[in-house]
Amino acid sequence: MSAGSPPRKQTQIFHHDMQRAAMDPAEEPPSMLWGLDPVFSAFARLYVRDILVMTESTQVPGIYFYKLHPIYKVDVLGTVVYKRERDDFFCYGVDDGTGVINCLCWKNDLFKEEDPAPSGAQHSDGAQGGFNLVAELKKLRETQRSRCRLEIGELLRVRGPVKTSRQQREIMASTFYKVDDPVMAVQLAWMMDVPQLYRLCYDKPPQLQPDAAGDSPISSVGKATNIIKDFFKQKSVTRFRPYDVQDLLQPLITCQPQTASADQEPVAGPSACQQLRQLLKEALQVLQDEGVVYRKVKSQDEVYNVTARDTDLLIAVKDVIREDSRREKYAEKGCHILHVLSAVRQRHSLNVSKATLQLVLKSLECNSDIVSTSEDHYTAF
């Protein structure tokens, strides 16, 4: 049962698309293949507008599809625009800028338990200036409660499965908490990450069908990336061009021609050379997405730098953090990763991605050149 009715904005969007919310069974991937899609096992960071209009599975109720990706749990960050509280749950309306969705957030035992009554020991400990276990436990309970009880206008992050109740789409929260974001750093990072997830994952068709050799295209690309990574380690590669690693992927290419049927002429498929180039292209893209390699300068001479061995990049990142952490603005908390990324792009290369920078930061922290003061903030020793 729905815990509360969302405002008219959500209801209109959802009812507008209810007529096309049922997927054609012929188009729906078989449920036995859903586990091949990594999105199925993750909390999908989808826009609310897409959650409201996802099509529901005809095979398994409670499973939804976004462009054939099977989804049943999501991760949403947005502003609370309405709230209701009952004995056992909170009901928050969350607006991420694209739509409003109802979030049912169950109260935990902290809201049902009574705080321990003060005892004589409590007063004696406080008077002596010692550690008061009862008082500290009460403070902890109050802090946890404040993170779960939000007001209109506050920022909420909620994770959980998607449900449809009384023709209204809602999230049954498994985890939810208030986000303190005074300078909008969390929201800006979210706004940068979600479009990239759409571009690299959600908007791409899932590779669920096995190929003729019995291996999925995902596994072929995975094998190719592992081969190239091993090559980097064995040869201590700092820079390379695609033709330097192309021959390493030759064993992954099958040269069997494709045929239509016994009474038809053979259908010519891509040549071995074309397959090799395509596989190399996809493997290099994966390595760039992971930050393992990057192109310092994009030109006709296609040169890739190996992030872990690019000493110039490591020095540039370390210098940015060392210099800027001395400034009054960053002295207390350190430099945010987005600030470091912007400075490194200006100083070293515009093509440095966030994933590349994260690998460099991890390496510098392991070498004790920098230290993380909090999530996504770094300072120099």
| 241 shares its domain with 184 | no
Tell me the helix, strand and coil percentages in the chain, rounded to 5. Answer: 45, 20, 35
Per-residue pLDDT band for 145 (boundaries 50, 70, 90) equals: low
| 170 shares its domain with 104 | yes
Residue 229 lies in a domain: yes
Which residues have C-beta within 8 Å of that of residue 184, sequence separation ≥ 6? none
One-character DSSP codes across 42-79: S-B---HHHHHHPEEPSSSTT-EEETTEEESEEEEEEE
Q: Is the pLDDT of residue 250 over 50?
A: yes
Q: Is the pLDDT of residue 140 over 50?
A: yes
Range of the domain at 376: 310-380
Per-residue pLDDT band for 121 (boundaries 50, 70, 90) equals: very low
| 144 shares its domain with 103 | yes
Q: Is 17 exposed, middle or buried (0-12, 13-18, 19+ CB in 10 A)?
A: middle
Instruction: Please give the pLDDT value at position 88.
Output: 82
Residue 196 lies in a domain: no
Mean pLDDT of 93-116: 80
Q: Is the pLDDT of residue 127 over 70?
A: no
Last residue of a domain, one of 306, 329, 364: 306
Q: Is the pLDDT of residue 300 over 90?
A: no
